[in-house]
Amino acid sequence: MPRIRKKTSKRGTTNQREKIKHKVAGHRQKVKKQARKDKASGKILQKKSKKDPGIPNNFPYKDQILAEVAEQRREAAAEKQRRKDEKRAAAAGVDVQDLETTQAPENFDVGENDGQGFDGVMSLRPAPISAAPKNKDSRNAVKEQTPTIPILPGPSTIRDVIQKVDVVLHVVDARDPAAGISDVLLKEAKDKSLVVLLNKADTVPRESLSKWLAHLRSSYTVLPFRVSSAFLPSATPFEPPSKKAKALATDDGLGLKALWSYLDDLLKTKKCDELVVAVTGVTNAGKTAVINSLVGADVLSIYSTHAAASVKGPYTTTLAQEVVVAIPGNDGSKVRFIDTPGLQCVRPDFLSEKEKEDTRARDILLQCRGRIDRLKDPLFAVSNIISRADTQDLMLAYNLPAFAPGDLSGFLGALARVSGLVKKRGVLDHAGAARIVLRDWSTGKFARYTVPLGTFDSASTEAGDEEVLATLRSRKELRKAGDIKLVKLQAGEVDQRDVEWDVAWEEDEDGSVGDDDGDEEHEEEDGDEEEAEEEMETDARSESGDDDTDHESDGDEEDEAPELLRPPPTKRKRRVSFALGTRGEKRRRGESGPDRGPSRGRR
């Protein structure tokens, strides 16, 4: 009689149960840690909405309530369809009354006819008149309204641009105007008409802009400016633009009248039909957006943080481009604008490591190009910010406890605690806190402003400045707004470095120009981990198989047969020290083989 196999028990071992417990605990820790990170980064978390239990079955009037709900839904759907039909009719140019007469009545009886036989058509309800199919040209209706403006290639070097133009329009950031001024460039263009344009004037308090206008007008012709709404940076620069976004105005820039008036007066003084203007400045100063605002159309492509995340080159404008525009109100006179890439400065070799690091941090923060929060080492950039920022403003902006002025570790430690960036064993994540600051810096939440040294009469503003100053908020109003972190910084110094005058702007195959100063810094952290893993694998291979590869290379050079590769090493079996082996193993353990040393006897 065959033996019946005992039924397998489903009872698990203690090891399996404990393993499941550890996995569940680890998963919960990961979920809590990710929730803390999302909360610190400001990520919107979708809360689970409670499911509607519905109407109980034992409720006496459930059928009546369901019928009322269905009727309300039907009426809402009919109203929605009516509005949609009216909108389509308005787009097609059909009167709404004509649309109502063309639709069949609701009490249309299919059985009623003129006595003729049913032909399969009387039962069909006439469909509502829909809008005419959109033509492909209708998408470009806005572009067709504006005249086509050709884009011409410009000179190949900055020296050729300066020699060709009549006016140099130097665009600087109003948040730190002195840092964006190139002293060497303005001295080279001293024979030209110089205009310093304080762009991004809407990002600073009214008091700061007034003081900078009074300070810089002692040396240059200065005009405040804000580009049109269509060319302003997005509120969410790291996210792709929405397809349903409404079209913004392209001619509502602040300071347009004053700038056009200055160019018109200069054209009348020179008594010529065309004025050539070079638009210069550092990277991301807004040069192309200024030209688009003057033209009143999206002619040249402007910088976008989302689009620049995959761009290798440091600029959106890679080559000099020329655009010819007629002066408003004076059709006979024209202005030729030359849009130039960002200024490239010569790197001095005599600087110390500390000075080179400070210069690099200054350029990264001034240009603010791309995802600077993904720097491999964000601490040096934040150190430059902390050394210049007002301590009380930082504490109020990030709701931090008091720390010593210029104390980088104290600031980052306090910010890490507030943001919940604590690693294992209570170690504070200073790098994560530094990336929060750099992210706020690049998105505009870290609203900074500077004030020139000395006292200036801010009341000596020109008449054209009132258009811009009237729209700005004071420092007190910006602090009460709450949507930004207003911090006062020490004013930067004027850039004294020499400019690469004769270096031609050449476009590579991938659309980039020259070398990118921040390629290494702008790589993501994933790249760092991959490089570290590759280095570890390389080191492991070098320890185990470098000798073999060397012998193989020598054999190839001497035209000898290559040696056979060794098989991959197998995993060595480990034995517990207290495990008991068989008698044969114990006996062999005491014997000595031909390649082994003397046997060990028992003590």
Return the pLDDT at 501: 85
Return the pLDDT at 190: 85
Return the pLDDT at 387: 92
Question: Cβ of 464: how many Cβ atoms within 10 Å?
Answer: 16
The stretch 89-107 carries a mean pLDDT of 59
Return the pLDDT at 140: 40
Of 96-105, 358-367, 375-384, 451-460, which range is least confident?
96-105
CA dihedral (39, 40, 44, 46) in degrees, to 10, reads -20
pLDDT digits (tens, 9 = 90+) for 371-389: 888 888 999 999 999 999 9
The stretch 192-197 carries a mean pLDDT of 90
Question: Cβ of 487: how many Cβ atoms within 10 Å?
Answer: 22
Q: pLDDT higher for 463 or 474?
A: 474
The ranges assigned to domains in the chain are: 148-239+249-528
Residue carrying structure tokens 């028990």: 9
Kindly tell me if the per-residue pLDDT of 571 is higher than 70.
no
Return the pLDDT at 105: 47
Contact 181, 170 (CB under 8 A): yes
pTM, rounded to two decimals:
0.60
* Spatial CA neighbour of 131 closest among 90, 83, 78: 90
Return the pLDDT at 96: 54
Of 59-68, 269-278, 444-453, 549-558, which range is least confident?
549-558
Q: pLDDT higher for 38 or 144?
A: 38
The stretch 253-270 carries a mean pLDDT of 87
Return the pLDDT at 107: 47
Counting residues of the chain whose pLDDT is more than 90, the rounded percentage is 23
d(CA 465, CA 475): 18
Return the pLDDT at 386: 93
Return the pLDDT at 477: 87
Q: pLDDT higher for 554 or 572?
A: 572
Contact 555, 561 (CB under 8 A): yes
Phi, psi of 450 (to 5 degrees): -130, 160
d(CA 17, CA 458): 75
The stretch 555-563 carries a mean pLDDT of 43
SS3 144: helix
Return the pLDDT at 432: 92
The stretch 430-444 carries a mean pLDDT of 91
Residue carrying structure tokens 């004025």: 275
Return the pLDDT at 44: 63
Q: pLDDT higher for 171 or 578?
A: 171
Q: What is the identity of the amino acid at 35?
A: A
d(CA 407, CA 418): 17
d(CA 282, CA 278): 13
148-239+249-528 maps to CATH 3.40.50.300 = yes
Kindly tell me if the per-residue pLDDT of 533 is higher than 60.
no
Of 50-59, 241-250, 505-514, 531-540, which range is least confident?
531-540
Residue carrying structure tokens 């009546």: 64
SS3 212: helix
d(CA 306, CA 284): 14
Of 95-109, 171-185, 414-428, 472-486, which range is least confident?
95-109
Kindly tell me if the per-residue pLDDT of 116 is higher than 50.
no
The stretch 336-340 carries a mean pLDDT of 91
The stretch 272-281 carries a mean pLDDT of 89
Q: What is the Cβ-side half-sphere exposure of residue 352, based on CA atoms within 13 angstroms? A: 2
Kindly tell me if the per-residue pLDDT of 26 is higher than 90.
yes
Return the pLDDT at 488: 92
